[in-house]
Amino acid sequence: MARTFSIRRQRGFTTIAMICFFALYLPIAVLVFYSFNAGTSLASFEGVSLQWFAKAFENQQVIDASLRSLQIAAIAAVIATIAATMAALATTRTEPYRGLTLKYAFINQPLMIPEIVTAVALLIFFARIKIWTGYSGLGYLIAAHTAFCIPFAYLPIRARLENMDLTLEKAAADLYATPWNAFRYVTLPLLWPGILAGFMLAFVISLDDVVITEFVKSAGQDTLPTYMLGQIRRNVTPEMNAISTLFLLLSICVVTVFFIVNRKRV
């Protein structure tokens, strides 16, 4: 009897996997460890202290940048998820036709183009709008983040739709359900895990973005990543480690909540 192929049985797989895990997570572990440093040095550990976390919470610039990041990420993720859901429905609940592949490529274009190119293009585009309208609020950052996050939300939603059984949707149609009622009572509940996954990806990507934000933002519109980048250029202190640790904790919480909710629904 032929043995089933398994990558885990290959010689050296465990060693290579452990090296990859160490390369990925060891720097993060070091960062978290030094965020509790009692001293001001980034090279030597001088005892355990929470002073840098306290300073981060007392830093009004950090608080403002964090709230701004959450605001932009939440709004952009909601809009991107709604747009991605409509796009996924339009490209999966239809018979294949000429030009459908082109639409896939168009929706996923932000993933294929270097982010710096997108950032420069948005800078030029929004600069003209600012001149014409005189508006320089957060709307530009929200629009830029939304456009960039749509493909990240689109991929899991589309994958969920493609793997869904159409029997229930066809049964609803046979029972004279309108397209909206069929979507609301049949498709949407089955699609919800994919929507949550798309929203989570869009939220985290927006929260973490630096390049596009750095090019599009106006004065006084720093998000937490751009604020940290500016501080690192001036002087690196353990406060940056503490902020990064809190940022990491927030990301872990978002992912954990998603998996808990998704597990209950599946």
Residues 45, 75 share a domain: no
For 34-87, write each residue's pLDDT tens digit.
888 887 777 777 888 888 888 888 888 888 988 999 999 999 999 999 999 998
Say what the pTM is.
0.82
Shared domain for 164 and 256, answered yes or no, is yes
DSSP 77-140: HHHHHHHHHHHHHHHHSS---TTHHHHHHHHTHHHHS-HHHHHHHHHHHHHHHHHHH---STHH
Identify the pLDDT of residue 208: 85
Would 76 be classed as within a structural domain? yes
Instruction: Classify residue 142: in a domain, yes or no.
Output: yes
Q: How many domains, the chain?
A: 2
Q: Do 187 and 147 belong to one domain? A: yes
* Residue 9 clears pLDDT 90, i.e. is over it: no
Q: What is the pLDDT of residue 55?
A: 86
227 and 199 in a common domain: yes
For tokens 């940048």, name the residue. Answer: 65
Residue 119 forms part of a structural domain: yes
Say if residue 139 is in the same domain as residue 109. Answer: yes
Q: Output the average pLDDT for the chain.
A: 83
Instruction: Calculate mean pLDDT across residues 215-239.
Output: 83
Pull the structure tokens for residue 157.
Answer: 């939603």
- Whether residues 182 and 202 share a domain: the answer is yes
Query: What are the angstrom distances between the C-alpha of 130 and each of 10, 117, 133, 218?
Result: 58, 20, 5, 10
Query: 106 pLDDT exceeds 70?
Result: yes
55 found inside a domain: no
For 151-207, the pLDDT digits (tens) are 999 988 988 888 877 777 778 777 777 778 878 888 888 888 888 888 988 998 898
Q: Check pLDDT > 80 for residue 113.
A: yes
Percent of the chain at pLDDT > 90 equals 13
Does residue 192 share a domain with residue 77?
Answer: yes
| Residue 121, C-beta contacts closer than 8 angstroms, at least 6 positions apart | none
In the structure encoding, which two tokens stand for residue 65, read together? Answer: 């940048």
Same domain? For 33 and 73 the reply is no
* Residue 125 domain flag: yes
Q: Round to the nearest angstrom and report the end-to-end CA distance of the chain.
A: 36
Q: Judge if 44 and 68 occupy the same domain.
A: no
Residue carrying the six token digits 């909710």: 261
Q: What is the pLDDT of residue 80?
A: 94
Determine the distance from the C-alpha atom of residue 74 to the mean position of all C-alpha atoms in its chain, rounded to a whole number. Answer: 10
Query: Which pLDDT belongs to residue 28?
Result: 87
Structural domain range at position 31: 12-49
Q: Which pLDDT score is estimated for 73? A: 92
Structural contact between residues 222 and 68, judged by C-beta atoms closer than 8 angstroms: yes
pLDDT for residue 262 is more than 70: no
Alpha-carbon span 125 to 150, nearest angstrom: 19
Query: Are 92 and 196 members of one domain?
Result: yes
| Residue 6 located in a structural domain | no
pLDDT grade for 263, boundaries at 50, 70 and 90: low
Give the CA angle between residues 33, 248, 51 to the nearest 5°. 50
Whether 233 is in a domain gets the answer yes
Model pLDDT, residue 8? 66
Q: Residues 126-141: what's their mean pLDDT?
A: 88
User: The domain spanning residue 223 has which CATH number?
Assistant: 1.10.3720.10
Query: What is the mean predicted confidence (pLDDT) over 128-136?
Result: 87
Both 171 and 233 in one domain: the answer is yes
Gap between the Cα atoms of 144 and 129, Å rounded: 13
Looking at the structure, do residues 81 and 211 belong to the same domain, yes or no? yes
| Long-range Cβ pairs for the range 178-182 (8 Å, 24+) | none
Q: 48: helix, coil or strand?
A: strand
Question: What CA–CA distances, in Å, run from 70 to 7, 9, 57, 211?
Answer: 40, 44, 16, 17
Residue 100 pLDDT: 76
Specify burial of residue 55 (Cβ count, 10 A radius: 0-12, 13-18, 19+): middle
